Structure 1
């Protein structure tokens, strides 16, 4: 492929990556206006969950289809669905219409997100890929920085509808560039036997898993029951894949221990990522009474360091084994989190920026490396499936851990109330609350203990990552 065409396609991939990743951050800012105008308080969690759920369910399916039918048509199909879903979301007259439109957006994103990485793998060699991945990572960083600001501007100056409409021209542009500039050379394969059982049990497993996580905060027992049923469905899925002639997720890929560790590491690190993105601002707002806008800036140091560190992935892989890189980086990250386990009210606020920066730098190196290695460690016919699997892990990690962190926070708070009402605690956590309660110090101590518990879970995830990679038998540099 001509160099000019590759640059053009890379720009289209950059826009598509930004478009799908900013969808989470930009909508968060508009949620209060959407809930108010559409009278959807009872269903507000589904505005985000419907998008994440359908994205997670369809990602591995698209990955498999990409290995069979090729990349271009599926990528364009995903862009069309995402753009149409964005348009319908902006036109939504009620909350139920919006949730359905968000599902359509998620089905489109399930194709776009993994296929951007797959197309990069097709166009660039393993050594070139590190620099290209670093470039596309800037789209994720920009979405984290620009999304909340852009969402606030659109809501204040126009209306919440434009939070969705802004994606429409971007989607049309990406579709046109890919149609004109991307000439696929991938040889299409025939579908010998559709893995219907695999698709069914995978979809059911993910659906029940995410539903169960959502229920942990409100109906703990029922949520646990749903999660147990989800585990049973996962077992049936595994059995179905072993019997299938052409499985939706080839189990054989996981025979490579290094491949499995990349998936585990990316999934758990993504779960840790959402921890500090949510709970650092909560800590600063509820305990240090920092304004919401200022507290949100604590995450920017992470985004900046993520972008910078991702450019070092290529040189590091040329000198060290993946095992050594992950172990060193994760140990440094874990050590930076340890002070949070016993931090008092006197813990300095600037320390959060440093911890976030260390976390972001580590994520930029390890997660970028995880994606590259997953693609490199499988056969060319399995690149789409491998990319979809690690993309699914990156989606499931934050989704699952958000529910677990929230459940842990609520359980610890409720067990330490000791005569204090839950309403008082809620008012203290809220950044909009300006009132000082009579027992303010006791309330803040309850919140502090709960936050210690949340970050304790994050440290446990670090330990699991370290154990998994210590057991990796591969100690050689991969080239």
Structure 2
């Protein structure tokens, strides 16, 4: 629901202003959180989470849109750095707080804790934020665009989920998604007030920012998931300890984001992306051939390099997308890149999982899939007789997963090599 509603809120924010839609998102997210905490069964919880997602579709992109309204391009880098600091700290504190609430109270409180925070944020916005954006005249909403975009994203996300369990049906659903995407693009070209102005993508630099943020977000979810799995299944590290491997990424993300402004003053976006992404890619190469003796401390280094790169490049992607479009399209542009950052991890999680399962199944050689699953599970403490063979199967599968991540790095590099803009943007 977050993915589906994000571009819709972006367009509405350009038409109707930011404040009221941001507050609407806060209200829906808070109500969804309360209902999730009170959920008596899984079906009620799913519905409540949908309400949460509809609210989050407003809050996430409009946060960056409001920053663009309040600060100039030169000032924005510093403000984005502070925003990333809050994001990084929440990534570190959130899991610890969540674990504490579950252990000491119950899972319900993981959701209920959002309620007072939602009320506080609503009050801060109501009292402290004076909207500066000049609203446009309210025109008709692109209903056809909303419908086709929603169908495209819904089928895309469902298709990705089905790849792990029903590959054929998943592929059919994904093909349907592509068909609706083509229809959506045709509808948008003819629409008077398109939900996503296709004209923005005629700027190659803008398109590259969206591609880069989407693919790097897909790589982000790779190491966040599969570094802990590597440590748990091959090095038999407890789940809590293995999860700490990605903390170096969060720390470096928030520190490196403070360098975005100085870098943009001295170098072109193309040069920054090519250098940073090349360093990130090189740090991943050892994972293609790493054995079970690969030092565990090296995962912390790779995560730190990845986080530092993400902090620079993704922060820059958001700023440039806002800067490269007209003022009346800032909300839509921010929503598009936010959508890319949501879709990247969602799509790639399904692809990584499918690749892992396929490689494992093709290399079992008499070993049961249950044995492999038990080895990957952090809850399993027993060592099987054929443990070395099982670990080798998992290792090959992990090589394949990180091979896909390196392929994504290569696509990012090619896309930015083809970017015609070689100048510093100010």
Do the structures match in fold with TM over 0.5? yes
Measured after TM superposition, the shift of residue 296 of structure 1 is 0.7
TM-score norm. by structure 2 comes to 0.99
Measured after TM superposition, the shift of residue 138 of structure 1 is 1.4
Measured after TM superposition, the shift of residue 142 of structure 1 is 1.6
Count of aligned pairs between the two proteins: 426
> Which of 195, 208, 222 is the aligned partner of 1:261?
208
Measured after TM superposition, the shift of residue 139 of structure 1 is 2.1
> Which of 124, 129, 132 is the aligned partner of 2:79?
132
State how far apart, in whole Å, the 2-side matches of 1:463 and 1:170 are: 41
State how far apart, in whole Å, the 2-side matches of 1:227 and 1:139 are: 36
Measured after TM superposition, the shift of residue 297 of structure 1 is 0.7
1:179 aligns with 2:126: yes
Measured after TM superposition, the shift of residue 147 of structure 1 is 1.6
State how far apart, in whole Å, the 2-side matches of 1:137 and 1:302 are: 12
Match for residue 232 of structure 1? 179
Match for residue 197 of structure 1? 144
TM-score norm. by structure 1 comes to 0.88
Match for residue 107 of structure 1? 54
Match for residue 233 of structure 2? 286
Match for residue 62 of structure 1? 9
Measured after TM superposition, the shift of residue 194 of structure 1 is 1.9
Larger RCO, structures 1/2 (Cα 8 Å, 6+ apart): 2
1:385 aligns with 2:332: yes
Measured after TM superposition, the shift of residue 341 of structure 1 is 0.3
State how far apart, in whole Å, the 1-side matches of 2:85 and 2:130 are: 25
RMSD of aligned Cα (Å): 0.6
Q: Deviations over 1:305-355 (max 9, x none)?
A: 001000000000000000000000000000000000000111110110000
SS at match of 1:405: helix
Q: Deviations over 1:125-182 (max 9, x none)?
A: 1111001000011122122211211111001111111100110011001111111111
Q: Is the 8 A contact 2:30 2:119 kept in 1?
A: yes
> Which of 104, 107, 115 is the aligned partner of 1:160?
107
> Which of 164, 168, 191 is the aligned partner of 1:221?
168
Match for residue 323 of structure 1? 270
SS at match of 2:253: helix
> Which of 299, 302, 307 is the aligned partner of 2:246?
299
State how far apart, in whole Å, the 2-side matches of 1:185 and 1:82 are: 24
State how far apart, in whole Å, the 2-side matches of 1:354 and 1:136 are: 24
SS at match of 1:345: coil
State how far apart, in whole Å, the 1-side matches of 2:175 and 2:181 are: 10
**Structure 2: 5+ residue stretches without partners:** none
SS at match of 1:287: helix
Measured after TM superposition, the shift of residue 291 of structure 1 is 1.2
Match for residue 117 of structure 2? 170
SS at match of 1:185: coil
State how far apart, in whole Å, the 1-side matches of 2:41 and 2:260 are: 46
